[in-house]
């Protein structure tokens, strides 16, 4: 990897100057409000800029990491080496017949609301998921019986060589909270959702119902990364945690939510170490009590703090 200064100058040639930041504090960009600094934090404004950065990273052996809204991600307190790419400027949502075409930095909540305004049904399930479209494809986000897999037609991605490529939904191996996007090293830049015409009132009624369910059950008043664990076959993670008397347990500023046992909330300026220690404590307690292994849904990345 080249010196930090050389990389900085190269990035400035590829991406608009104001969109290249050095030693950027990541917690300010994450829904969880956790995490250290990124060596470089860049926010491209076009697919070409994304392609240029991927090609530079490949040529100069610089690691890069995609960051959406950070609502399914815990970044360690030592931060991330190399380039962090955030697509918040790629946030256009448009309509093409019965399809909604969303750039991947747009929020999936906004895509869902946009579909409502177009009288198109299919994205109602996503009306309360606080991630980006890119993050939603990455983990086949879903809720209340719907998931990305049901409505995705195709995606545009920048592949690991920097080429802009179309991937049909069937090529992404979308399954329960997984896809092959990480394996391939793709960056999603755009998604096309195929929806069905329906009345505004019908779609809105479903969205209002789901929003009510979410607001009454989830601790939305605190930063968090949503459900920390996947549903173990034959069980519900939240119920196992509840039955282990773990609700309200805290380590530092992190706490197992008293409202929804599957959530760990950042209650009082938690560090990532607090969060990770609490996750491990929950896994150990549930394993000892019920013999069930809780697999994390949330991803943990970045360096330890030295």
Ligand X SMILES: Cc1cc2nc3c(=O)[nH]c(=O)nc-3n(C[C@H](O)[C@H](O)[C@H](O)COP(=O)(O)OP(=O)(O)OC[C@H]3O[C@@H](n4cnc5c(N)ncnc54)[C@H](O)[C@@H]3O)c2cc1C
- Asked if residue 188 binds ligand X (CB under 6 A), the reply is yes
Instruction: Note whether 228 and 298 are within 8 A (CB).
Output: yes
Q: Decide: is 130 part of the binding site for ligand X (CB under 6 A).
A: yes
Question: Does the footprint of ligand X cover residue 101 (CB under 6 A)?
Answer: no
Catalytic residue among 227, 244, 255, 257: 227
H runs (alpha helix) in 192-271: 200-217, 237-243
Residue 299 makes contact with ligand X by CB under 6 A = yes
Please, which residue, 137 or 246, has the CB nearer to ligand X? 137
Q: Is 138 in the site for ligand X (CB under 6 A)?
A: yes
For residue 139, state whether it binds ligand X (rule: CB under 6 A).
yes
State the minimum distance, in angstroms, from the CB of residue 259 to ligand X.
11
Integer CA distances (angstroms), 298 to 104, 113, 141, 240, 302, in order: 19, 25, 12, 18, 13
User: 89: which 2 tokens?
Assistant: 């400027």
**What 8-state DSSP symbol labels residue 81?**
E
State how far the Cα of 225 lies from the Cα of 33, in Å rounded to an integer. 9
Which residue in 7, 15, 31, 114 binds ligand X (CB under 6 A)? 31
Please name the residue that has the structure tokens 């990541």. Answer: 26
Nearer residue to ligand X within complex by CB, 253 or 289:
253
Place of tokens 């830049």: 189
Query: Choosing from 81, 113, 177, 231, which is the catalytic residue?
Result: 177
* 224 is known as an active-site residue: no
Q: Is 187 in the site for ligand X (CB under 6 A)?
A: yes
Residue among 60, 74, 66 nearest 31 (CA): 74
Active-site residue, 297 included: yes
Binding residue for ligand X, selected from 66, 246, 264, 278, defined by CB under 6 A: 66
Q: What is the dihedral sign for C-alpha 35, 40, 46, 51?
A: negative
**Distance of closest approach, residue 137 Cβ to ligand X, in angstroms:** 7
Q: Which of residues 198-227 bind ligand X (CB under 6 A)?
A: 218, 220, 224-226
262 binding ligand X? (CB under 6 A): no
244 part of the active site = no
Rounded to whole angstroms, how far apart are CA atoms 138 and 144?
19
Q: Which two tokens stand for residue 56?
A: 């530079």
Structural element, H or E, at residue 152: strand 152-158
* End-to-end CA gap in the chain: 21
* 76 token code pair: 């360690």
Q: Which is nearer to ligand X, 188 or 294 (CB)?
A: 188
Smallest distance, Å, CB 23 to ligand X? Answer: 20
Q: Please choose, from the candidates 85, 35, 110, the residue with its C-alpha nearest in 3D space to the C-alpha of residue 266.
A: 35
Q: Does 79 help bind ligand X (rule: CB under 6 A)? A: no
Q: What is the dihedral of CA 114, 299, 252, 218, to 10 degrees?
A: 30
Over the Cα atoms of the chain, what is R_g? 20
Q: Is 38 in the site for ligand X (CB under 6 A)?
A: no
Shortest Å distance, C-beta 282 to ligand X: 17
**Binding residue count for ligand X, defined by CB under 6 A:** 33
| Interface residue with ligand X, options 14, 143, 164, 206 (CB under 6 A) | 143
Residue for token pair 């040639």: 13
Residues that bind ligand X (CB under 6 A): 31, 65-73, 87, 104, 129-132, 134-136, 138-139, 141-143, 181, 187-188, 218, 220, 224-226, 299
Catalytic residue numbers read 177, 227, 297
């Amino acid at each position: 990897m080249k010196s930090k200064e050389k990389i900085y100058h190269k990035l400035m040639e590829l991406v608009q100057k104001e969109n290249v930041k050095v030693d950027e504090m990541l917690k300010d960009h994450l829904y969880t409000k956790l995490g250290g600094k990124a060596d470089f934090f860049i926010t491209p404004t076009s697919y070409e800029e994304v392609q240029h950065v991927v090609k530079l990273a490949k040529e100069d052996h610089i690691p890069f990491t995609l960051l959406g809204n950070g609502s399914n991600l815990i970044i360690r307190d030592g931060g991330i080496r190399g380039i962090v790419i955030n697509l918040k400027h790629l946030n256009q949502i448009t309509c093409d017949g019965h399809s909604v075409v969303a750039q991947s930095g747009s929020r999936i909540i906004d895509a869902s609301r946009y579909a409502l305004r177009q009288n198109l049904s299919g994205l109602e399930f996503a009306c309360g998921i606080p991630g980006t479209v890119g993050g939603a494809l990455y983990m086949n986000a879903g809720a209340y019986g719907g998931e990305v897999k049901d409505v995705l037609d195709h995606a545009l991605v920048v592949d690991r060589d920097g080429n802009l490529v179309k991937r049909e939904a069937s090529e992404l191996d979308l399954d329960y909270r997984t896809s092959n996007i990480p394996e391939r090293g793709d960056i999603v830049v755009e998604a096309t959702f195929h929806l069905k015409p329906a009345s505004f009132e019908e779609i809105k009624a479903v969205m209002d119902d789901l929003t009510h369910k979410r607001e009454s059950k989830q601790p939305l008043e605190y930063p968090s990364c949503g459900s920390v664990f996947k549903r173990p076959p034959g069980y519900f993670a939240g119920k196992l945690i509840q039955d282990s008397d773990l609700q309200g347990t805290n380590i530092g500023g992190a706490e197992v939510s008293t409202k929804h046992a599957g959530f760990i909330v950042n209650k009082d300026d938690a560090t990532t170490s607090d969060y990770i220690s609490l996750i491990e404590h929950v896994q150990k307690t549930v394993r000892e009590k019920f013999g069930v292994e809780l697999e994390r849904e949330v991803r943990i990345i970045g360096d330890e703090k030295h």
